[in-house]
Chains A and B, each alone.
Chain A
Amino acid sequence: MARKTKNLTALKLTSAIVALSALPVAVNASECFDEESSNPKAGNATAVVGPDVGLMQGGGDYERPSAGDDVFSEDYVRTGEASHMQLKLCDWSTYTFPPESEAQINEFYDDEGARSRRVVNYVRGGFRYASGRDTEPGSTEVEIQESGVTMGVRGTNVILVELEGVIYALLEGPALDNTGYTPKGRVEFWTGENRDAIQARLIRPGWVVRIGPDDVSDPYRADDALLKRIYGAFLPAVPDEDDAFFAYEHNPSGASGQGAQEGQEGVDTANNHSRREDEDTENLPEQPSEAGISFEERYNEAFPNETPPFPVAVGEILPLDALDYYADAQASPSGHIFAIAPAQLFVDNGSGPTLADDGVVIVQINFDIASRTIAPEALASFVKFDFSVLDPSNLGLDDVGAALEDQFTNAFVQALIASSNIPFASGGGGVAVFPAQAFTVTVRQGVGETVTVDVSADFSSTNGQMVTSNAIAEALDLQLMPGDGDLAYFNFGLSEVFTIADLTGYSTSGTTKLYGFTPDISQTLGQAGPLTGLAYAQIEVNFNNRTIGGPGSFMVVTAAAGPETGGQQANAYVSLDQPAPFSAGLFNMALYPISLLINNGSAIAGQALVAEGSDVPVYADIAAILEANTGAHLYSEILLENPFYGADYEPASIAELDALGVALGTGAFFFDGSIANQNAAALSNAATGDFFGSMNAKIDVSFANRTIGGGDSFVSANLFNNLTSSTFQFSEFLNPASFDSALGGSGVFAFDGADFSGNNIQSMIFVIRNDLAGGAATSADAFLNFTDGAGGKGLGELRGMTLTPGAACPGACD
Chain B
Amino acid sequence: MSVSRVIGLSIAALFAASVAFAQEPEETAREAAERETRAAEQREEALEYSGGSIPFGEVLAAPDDVRLNLAYAREQIAGGDLKEGAATLERILLLQPQLHDVRVLYGLVLYRLGLLDRARFELETALNGELAPTVRAEAELYLERVKRLQRATRGTLTLTVGAEWDQNRNQAPSSGTLLFFDIPLTAEPRDADYAWITSVQGKITRDLGFQAGHTVYGEASYYRSDKNEVDSLDIDAVSLATGFTFNFGDFSVSPRARGSFIWLSGEDYLSTVGGEIELLYRISPVLRAYMSFRGEHEEFRAVSNYLTADERTGRRLSARPGAVWHLNPSMALTVEGLWMDKNGHTRLPGFEYESFGRYGAFAQHSWLHGGGAFTLIGGWAERSDYDSINPYISPSTVREEWLYRARFTAGAPLSWFLRGVDMPRALSTINLITQYEYEKVDSNIPNFDYDTHKVSLLLSKRITF
Contact = CB atoms under 8 A, between A and B. Distances in A.
A317 interface: yes
A293 B170 CA distance: 13
A207 B63 contact: no
Contacts of B306: 285, 288, 291
B285 A249 contact: no
A312 B98 contact: no
B80 A180 contact: yes
A264 B326 CA distance: 13
A244 B98 contact: yes
A199 B98 CA distance: 41
Contact of B91 (A86, A178, A255): A86
Nearest to B450: A289
Interface string B338-377: 0000000001111100000000000000101111111010
Interface in B65-117: 77-87, 90-91, 93-102, 104-105, 108-109, 111-117
Contacts of A298: 180, 185
Nearest to A246: B101
Contacts of A293: 188
Nearest to A314: B350
Contacts of B439: 281
Contacts of B307: 294-295
Interface residues of B, number: 160
B194 to A, nearest CB: 14
Contacts of A96: 90, 94
Interface in B400-450: 405, 407, 409, 411-413, 431, 433, 435, 437, 439, 447-448
B447 A287 contact: yes
A477 to B, nearest CB: 15
A57 interface: no
A178 B100 contact: no
Contacts of B58: 27
Given A246-B102, A255-B7, A270 B225 contact: no
A351 interface: no
Contact of A246 (B10, B57, B181): B10
Nearest to A293: B188
Contacts of B125: 235
B181 A303 contact: yes
Given A86-B90, A250-B3, A255-B7, A27 B351 contact: no
Contact of B60 (A44, A259, A295, A302): A44
A242 B211 CA distance: 39
A703 B303 CA distance: 80
Nearest to A281: B439
Contact of A288 (B13, B21, B232): B232
Nearest to B12: A247
A203 interface: yes
Contact of B99 (A180, A207, A244): A244
Contact of B98 (A239, A259, A315, A322): A239
Given A26-B60, A263-B368, A269-B462, A246 B135 contact: yes
A88 B94 CA distance: 14
Interface string A266-304: 110111111011101101111111111111001101110
A542 interface: no
A251 B107 CA distance: 11
Interface in B186-221: 187-188, 190-191, 197, 199, 201, 209, 211-213
Contacts of A28: 60
A246 B90 contact: no
B268 interface: no
B191 to A, nearest CB: 7
Contact of B211 (A49, A207, A266, A310): A207
A302 to B, nearest CB: 4
A252 B13 CA distance: 13
B178 interface: yes
Contact of B350 (A25, A94, A316): A316
Contacts of B249: 203
A244 B17 contact: yes
Given A27-B58, A184-B250, A259-B3, A235 B376 contact: no
A67 B21 contact: no
Contact of B97 (A172, A221, A239, A445): A239
B182 to A, nearest CB: 9
A497 interface: no
A52 to B, nearest CB: 14
A247 B83 contact: no
A250 B7 contact: yes
A222, A266, A431 — which one has the most chain B CB atoms within 10 A of its CB? A266
B208 to A, nearest CB: 12
Contacts of B378: 274
A274 B407 contact: yes
A248 B171 contact: no
Nearest to A43: B60
B82 A176 contact: yes
B257 interface: no
B245 interface: no
Contact of A25 (B14, B56, B118, B411): B56
Given A248-B138, A273-B160, A292-B232, A253 B374 contact: no
Nearest to A67: B63
Contacts of A45: 63
Contacts of A238: 97-98, 129
Contact of B116 (A184, A206, A254, A313): A206
A302 B183 contact: yes
A322 B346 CA distance: 13
A260 B329 contact: yes
A157 to B, nearest CB: 6
Contact of A256 (B112, B284, B350, B458): B112
Nearest to B182: A302
Contacts of A178: 80-84
A614 interface: no
A333 interface: no
B305 interface: yes
A285 B309 contact: yes
Given A133-B83, A264-B368, A266-B433, A251 B448 contact: no
Contacts of B437: 277
B78 A256 contact: yes
A137 B20 CA distance: 42
Interface in A45-66: 45-49
Nearest to B139: A248
A261 interface: yes
A259 B16 CA distance: 25
A735 to B, nearest CB: 62
Interface in B378-396: 378, 388, 391-392, 395
A249 B105 CA distance: 10
A204, A222, A242, A252 — which one has the most chain B CB atoms within 10 A of its CB? A252
Nearest to A315: B350
B17 A245 contact: yes
B374 A266 contact: yes
B115 A175 contact: yes
B288 to A, nearest CB: 10
A179 interface: yes
B285 A248 contact: no
Contact of B330 (A173, A228, A260, A295): A260
Contact of B232 (A257, A259, A291): A291
Given A130-B87, A290-B188, A246 B99 contact: yes
Given A287-B447, A303-B181, A47 B95 contact: yes
Contact of B178 (A173, A277, A290): A290
A220 to B, nearest CB: 8
A322 B109 CA distance: 73
Given A235-B97, A251-B108, 14 more contacts: A96-B94, A175-B113, A184-B285, A238-B129, A244-B20, A246-B10, A251-B142, A254-B370, A255-B3, A259-B3, A260-B330, A284-B233, A284-B235, A285-B306
7 contacts: A177-B83, A178-B81, A251-B138, A255-B3, A276-B237, A284-B264, A299-B181
